[in-house]
Amino acid sequence: MKTIVCPTDFSTCATNALAYAHQVAIQAQAELILLHTLFSPDAMPYAGITLESTYGMAEVDSNQNQLEQLCQQLRASNHTSGVRYQTILGTRPAPDEIAHTAATHHADLIVMGTEGAYGVKELLLGSTAASVIDTTTVPVLIVPDQAIFQPIKTIVFAADLTEKHPCDVAALTAIARLFDAHILFLHVLKENSSVKSNLAHLHYADLYSGIGYKQVSFHIREESDIERGILQFSQEKQAGLIVMINHKRSLLESIFTGSQTKKMAYHTPIPLLAIHTN
């Protein structure tokens, strides 16, 4: 992991996500790019027109200074590691600017905050994070506003057995190696499912046993509500990270497009990593 992009709007939530991103960058000895966008629908810059002409010198300077101050604070808290810092002031809508920056700088990870989230569904839906996940192919680590960084010792990867090898798990194993974490592969079977638990376990182990990382175990849980099953299992195992797949007909999508009759009642402070299929 060489490059991490962390967008910020200078809110408390974004600053908390930046602190989290900084700790991952320190562990990986990576470059950390702080990104802020000035985008306003009423003030779109045109080719050959400077930021200062479009948004005003005072606004540009103020936002650039805030980015530099954040960088200085990070440097001051980290004298010994090899983290490299960069600031970028963009003009595109936030999801587009984040995806563009990640692609341009060949980022390995995007880290961003989300505020007032309840459950996996609320972590992603109706937020900038949701748009970013749909816009980029780079893994996106979403940090709830109440999450406090702790070295990640346990990762829960919730995936769907109906897929063949559904994604490139390089981002998952990279983070696991950084922290020497144990990966718990979890499949939630709906109660009264026609799939037998023991057969599901064998199939799951067969899918993911060849990922090139040894600290893994495979778990099957029966639960009528898939999201609740994931979150309860993660809390029981004291997971520091939940990983899910963003891809058509995936577990992630099935949660979003399933029953809309009730809102998730389980608040989770656990960060979530959304990874993509190839």
179, 152 contact by CB (below 8 A): yes
Superfamily of domain 3-144: HUPs (3.40.50.620)
Mean pLDDT of 120-142: 74
Strand order in the sheet with 272-276: 84-90, 31-37, 3-7, 109-114, 140-144, 272-276, 241-246, 154-158, 182-189, 216-222
Structure confidence at residue 81 (pLDDT): 76
Q: Is 192 left (phi over 0), alpha (psi -120 to 50) or beta?
A: left
Q: Where are the beta strands (DSSP E) in the chain?
A: 3-7, 31-37, 84-90, 109-114, 140-144, 154-158, 182-189, 216-222, 241-246, 272-276
Contacts of 163 (CB under 8 A, 6+ apart): 245, 249, 250
Residues of the chain with CATH 3.40.50.620: 3-144, 154-276
Q: Which tokens is 235 given?
A: 């809390």
pLDDT tens across 92-110, in order? Answer: 888 999 999 999 999 999 9
pLDDT tens across 134-191, in order? Answer: 889 899 998 988 888 999 999 999 876 655 545 668 888 999 999 999 999 888 877 6
Binned at pLDDT 50, 70 and 90, residue 275 comes out as confident
- Looking at per-residue confidence, does 121 or 62 come out higher? 62
Structure confidence at residue 244 (pLDDT): 85
Distance CA(6)–CA(105), nearest Å, equals 12
Structure confidence at residue 205 (pLDDT): 64
- Domain with residues 154-276, CATH architecture: 3-Layer(aba) Sandwich (3.40)
Binned at pLDDT 50, 70 and 90, residue 50 comes out as low
Structure confidence at residue 169 (pLDDT): 80
The type of residue at 65 is N
CB atoms within 10 A of CB 257: 9
Mean pLDDT of 76-97: 88
pLDDT tens across 182-235, in order? Answer: 999 888 877 665 555 566 666 666 666 667 888 988 888 888 888 888 889 999
Distance CA(93)–CA(99), nearest Å, equals 10
Structure confidence at residue 133 (pLDDT): 83
Whether the predicted pLDDT of 47 surpasses 50: no
Structure confidence at residue 91 (pLDDT): 82
Distances in whole angstroms, Cα of residue 222 to Cα of each of 99, 134, 139, 166: 37, 30, 28, 21
Distance CA(127)–CA(119), nearest Å, equals 14
Pairing of strands 272-276, 140-144: antiparallel
Among 28, 84, 24, 1, residue whose Cα is nearest residue 271: 24
